[in-house]
Structure 1
Amino acid sequence: MICNPNWKEISNELQPHEETQYRPDLIARVFRAKLEDLKYQLFKREIFGKVSAYVYVIEHQKRGLPHAHFLIILRRKLYAPESFDEIVSAELPDKDNNLHLYTAVIKRSNNGRTARIRDHDLDNRWVVPYNPYLVAMFGCHINVEICCTIKAVKYLYKYIYKGHDHVAFNLVPEESIHQIDEIERFQSARWIAPPEAMWRIFGFIVNEVHPVVYSLHLHLENQHQVTFRTHENLTKVMNSDLSAKSMLTEFFATNQIDQNARKLLYREFSEFYVWSQQYKMWTVRNKQIVIGRIVTANPFEGEDIIESYKRSSIISTSENFYCNPTNPRDLWERFKQDISADFQLVGCSSSNVRTETLHFISKILESMGKDINSFHFIDQNIDFDEDEFLSREIDDELAVPIPKEDLHTSTLFNSKQQNAYNSILQKVLSNQAVAFFIDGPGGTGKTFLYKALLATIRTKQLIALAAASSSVAASILLVVELHIHDLKFH
C-alpha cells in the first residue's frame, strides 16, 4: 500500500499554492489513518478470511512517501483458481458498470478491454494484481498477490526484513591533493526524508508481528544466563531471587503448583500464561546486554561502542564483539588488557603478549578480507611472515569439508546438467582460463550443478572459490569468499 499524495484528506488541508511535499506531518498522519483502516478491513472484518498470522513494515521512498509491505497467512488454504479470484483480480474493470474502480485501476497501470495510458494501448497483461474492494475503498496503489510457494521467503527478505535504505558518501577537503581512498572514506548513514522524520516524531510504529514470538531459553540446572550492571555488587546479584530465575525455571515451578500447566509443552506455555512483570524486566535487561555485544556499524555511535564493550568485557570474550568503530586505535588502547587476557594467563612477557594479541587480531581481520595495518593500532606497521599467511590461506581452502551427498550428485544429472558439468570440468582439469555463465529460472538445478563441481574439484586437492551475491545464496554453498558476481570457478 503506497500513500497517495492526492488523497482528499491531504489536498483539502493544503493552503492556496501549498504543495503536498511541504506538509510531511499531514502525509504521515493521513497515511497512518489509512493504514489503521486497512488493518481493520484485513484483521477485524476479515475480508480475505480469518488470518492466522501477519507481519508488516513501514518504509519511506526516497521522495518521502510512506508505504507498507504486508505478508499475511490465512487460516484457509487456497488451491483452486476460483478461490484466487475471490481475492485478486488482474483484469481491467468494466468502465461502464464501475467507473470509479476503472479509474482507480488505470492509474496504476484478455477480455478485449484496453486502456490508453501515456499514448499506449494497454490490456490485462499490464495490470498489476489488485483487490477491487481495497482499490475502490482507498484510492491508492495496493498490490495484492497470492503466494502459495516457497517464494514467500523471497518476499520476506526482499521487502519485510531487508532493513532501511542507506546512502554512501565521503567528505573530501578542497585543498586535498592526495589520491582519495574511497573505501577508507566510506561511511554508512541513514536516508531520512521529512515524512519519515515526522512518522518517528509522532511515535507511530514501523513494524508489527502477530502472533508475538517468544525466544524460549534452554539451559542446564544453575547454568542460565545472569546479567547485571557494572556498578552492582556481585554478592548481592548472586543472592538475589531474581538471579535464580529464568523462563525455564519458572515453567518448572508453575508445573509443581498448577495441574493445568502440566498438560502443556514448554513451547505451548506462553499461550496460556503470562510471565511476571519482574521477569519481564529481567528479560529486557538481558536483551539490552546481548544487543550491546553485537554493536551496530553506525560510525556516529562511538560512545555506545565503548559502553557496550565495557559491558561485554564482563560477561564475554572479545571474540563476541563485532563493530565498525570510527577510532579503532582508541578502542585498542582502552581495552587491550581485556583483549589480551588469555595470552597473559600463559605467562608470556608483556612484549610477547602484545605481539600474540595483535597476531590473533590480524588473523581474524584477514579472514574478513581486512589488513590490520589499515586500522593503525600502533605507530609502526605490523608485519608477519608472508609465507605463513599464504600457507594458512591454502590450508584453509584445502580443509573445506566435502559433503558425501555432493560426491554422488553428478550421477543424478539430466542431459543439460551433465553437459555443463563435463564442459566446465574439462577446462578446469586442463588448466585453461575460461568463464562459463549458467542461466535458468529458480528450481532448475543450478545449485545442484554447483555443488557437484565444488565437490569434484576439491576431492582432487584443487582449490575452488565459491562466490555468491547475497548471504541467502551463500548459505546453501560452502562459500569461502563473498563477491558481487555469480558463481565462478577458477
Structure 2
Amino acid sequence: MLRNLKDNKKFGKVIANFYVIEFQNRRLPHAHILITLAPEDKPKCPDDIDVIISAEIPDKDTDPLAFETITKNMLHGPCGPCLIDGKCSKHFPKKFCAETTFHDNGFVQYRRRQNREPIIVNGRAVDNRWVVPYNRDLCVKYNAHNNVERVSAKVCGEESFEDIQTIDGVIHPTFRSACHALGLLDDDNEWHETLSEASNWALDSQLRNMFCSILMFSEVSDPKQLWEQHWGELTDDLERMMRRQTRNPKLRLTPEEMQNQGLQEIEHILNKLGRSLTDFPDMPQPSSELARNALNRLIRDELEYDTHDEANRFDTLVRGLNTDQYRVYAAILDAHSRDVGGLFFVYNSGGTGKTYLWNTLIAKFRSKRKIVLSMASSGIAALLLSGGKTAHLTFKIPFDLDQHSICNFKKDSTRADLSDICNDNRVFGGKLVVLGGDFRQILPVVPDEGRESIVAATLHRASFWRDCQVMCLRINMRLCRSDVPSDTLEQIREFADWIIKVGEGVIAGVSITEEGNVQRYYSSDTLGHTEDGGILDNMEPMELLNSLNLSGLPNHCLELKVGAPEMNTRYTPCRCVTLTTLNVNMRVRLLWMVTEQSRAKGTNYVHRSWSMVFTDSEGNEVQITLFNADIDKYKENLKRGKVYSIAQLELMPLDTSYKYATNQMRLKFGNKTMITEILDDCDDIPRYNFRFIEFCNIPQYLHMRNSPLIDVIGLVIYVSESYRVSGGRQQFKRDVLLCNTNMETMRLTLWEVFAHDQGRFLFYELNQDHVLGASMVSVGSYYGACLSTVGRTRLFIDPDINETDDLHG
C-alpha cells in the first residue's frame, strides 16, 4: 500500500510518511499511516476532499462492486465495545451533512447526504451516518477496511507540557487522560464487562484477586476508573469481616472507609505478588490512618453517632442558650476553628446551665463527625451528659490513689492507643479541653491535713492553671422558665441562694427542716481508769469533749427525724447507700445490673431459691436472693444483662450458704418494692464484673481457708473429649487448657452441664481462637494447681471486655 501511495502517486506527490504497525492478540496486524503531500497536491477546498474521500454508501446499481465492499467493511457498528456510559466513543451515528465543510478548528465534516432510504445490513437499518470515511479505489482494490481521512490543518504547535495535556480547551491532569480524550487509547470495556459478569457468581475475595490480575497482566488504560466503577462489588464483604475482627456487630463503615479497606486488601494481594499500588500511579492509595481508626473500637464508638440526629439536637439546644452561655460557646468554637487547642474552665454555681452548655457543644461537634469525650467525676453527673462516662472508667483511674498509683491500661490495647498526645508539648497535647464546675462543690479532701494543705490541693494550684481561660456563668436558667408558677420560682430562688450560702460557709451546720419531733441519740462516753485505779479528774470537762467534732470520729449527738435521709458509710461496703428513716423499717434505692442467676434445691422438700448479683457503675456488688413464691412474682421482671432502678428494699446480713457476691450484706424485696427497667444507654455500668487472677498467682489459693472461688480468663488452646468418671456417681467431664498473654497455661475441668454445653461448643470450634472467661471456679491440686467448675460457676465465651481483645491480639 505504501508503494501504491508513493510510487503511483494515488493522492499526489508524497514528501513524507510515517506508519505504525499494531499487533493484537485477537485481531490481525493493522497499520496507521500518515502521509504528507506536496503543497500543490494538498486538497484545498471541499470539492478536492470529495474527489478522494467519501462517507456515503455507493449506489448499488451503478457501482455494485463498491457497494458490496463498503457495506461489508466500512460500516460502523453495531456499537458494543465502543460504548462508554451508554454513548459511542467514536461518536456514531454522525450527523447528516449536505456538503463537505471545514470547521474553524481545522477538522473536516464529510458529506453525508440524506438522499436515499436506509439499507438492511445484518438485520439492522443503516444509512450514510454510519459510514466510516474511505477512498473508493483503495477499498475496492484491497477489499478490506481502509479508513482514509484528512487530518487537521490547524493545530497549534505545543510550547509546553501543559499544551500537550490540553485537549479542546480542557487541561487534563495526566498525559494518559489526554490520550484517552483524543481516543488514542483502547477502551477498558472488556475489563468492565469481565468484573460485572464475575460479580454475579464469584466471591468478593475472588473478585479482588481478579482485579489484581487485570492490573498486573493486562493493558488497562484507566485503572482508576475501573476501580471507581467496581469498588462496591470488590468490598461488599469487608464490613462483615471488620465486624468479626472487632467483635462489634453494630459496626458501620462509611463509603470512604469501605474504599480504603478495599485498597488495603488490594495492596496486600499485590505485595504477595511482588507489586504495589504505587506501581499504578492512577490508582488511589490506601490511608493508614483510616485503617487504624476502623480497627480501634473506642474511636469507632465515638464516630457512630448519627450526625443528622446530632445536628437536629444541636439546632434545638443552641436556640435556648442565654447570653452568658452563648459567649462561652462562641469562644470555644473560635478556638476550635483556629485549631489552636485551648484549655477553658467554666465557673458557675448550680442552676446556671453547665450541663445544657456541655450538651450543646457535644451535639455541635458530633454533628460534624468529631470525637468528643464527655466525662464527669461521678456517675450521676455523667448520666446528665450525652454519651457521658466517668473519668475513672474512661482513663482507668484507680479509686484509691497514692504516690504509686498508675492508670490500668493494657499494653497495645485500643485504649492505650489514645495515650499518644500528638507529640505536642502544649497543655493536653494541644487538644481542646473544656472543664467546668463550682469550686464550692469540688473542694478536695486531704485526710489529716489543715486548711493550707487543702488549698494547695485545689485546681487553682495545678501547673496548667496559668494556661486556663476562666469564664463565668451568672444567669440562673431555673429562674428563666416561663412555664413555672411564681411561687415555685421563688422557692427555686431561695434554694439557689441557700446553696451559695452553704458553699461560702455562711450556713455551716446541718438542719432538718422536715416536720416532726427530732429524736436525739447520744454516744456513751466514760472516762477511763488509770493504772493505779484513780479517775482522771484533771481532764477537760465531759461537755467540752462531747462538743468537739473530729475527723474520723462520729459526733456525740445524732439527730433523726421520720422521713429525713441519712448516709450510711460504715455498716455496709456499698458506697453511698441512701437510707430513709420510716419508723423502724429501713429502705434503699439503688441502680444495678443483673449479672448472674442460680438455683438450689433442698433434700427433704423442694426449697427454691434464685440469686442475682447486681453491679453498679463503680464495680460494687450486692446480692438479692428470692425464695419460693417471690421467685414467681419477680422473675419475669428481671432479666440478665438489663439495667434496673429498684426502690423500697430492705438491707440485711447475707447468709453464707447463699453467698455469690463479695458484699457481706444483701437486699431483700418487700411488698412495696418497685422495679423499673432503665431503657437508656448505661455504658458506665459494666455488663461483666470480673476479678481475674493471673495464672502465676493461682497456686497461693491452694492453702487458703474456706476454698475461695476465683475468676480467670484465657485463650482456649486445647479441649479434650468428654469422658465419664466413675465414683460415688458417674459424672461427665471435659478438660480445657487456657493460655494467657504471658504464654502461661492453666487446666480447667468442666463438669456435667458445662462439659456438655460450653465444652462441646469449644471442642468443635477449637480452630476459631475463642476466649473463655470463667467466674467463680474452685482451685485444686492435680500435678500442680488446676481449676474446676462448681455449681456457682458461670462461663462466658468471648466476653466483650478489653482482656478478650488483648488475648486475640
TM-score in terms of structure 1 length = 0.26
Q: Which has the higher contact order (CA 8 A, sep 6+)?
A: 1
TM-score in terms of structure 2 length = 0.18
Give the structure with the larger strand fraction.
Answer: 2
Give the structure with the larger helix fraction.
Answer: 1
- Computing the radius of gyration over CA atoms, which structure comes out larger, 1 or 2? 2
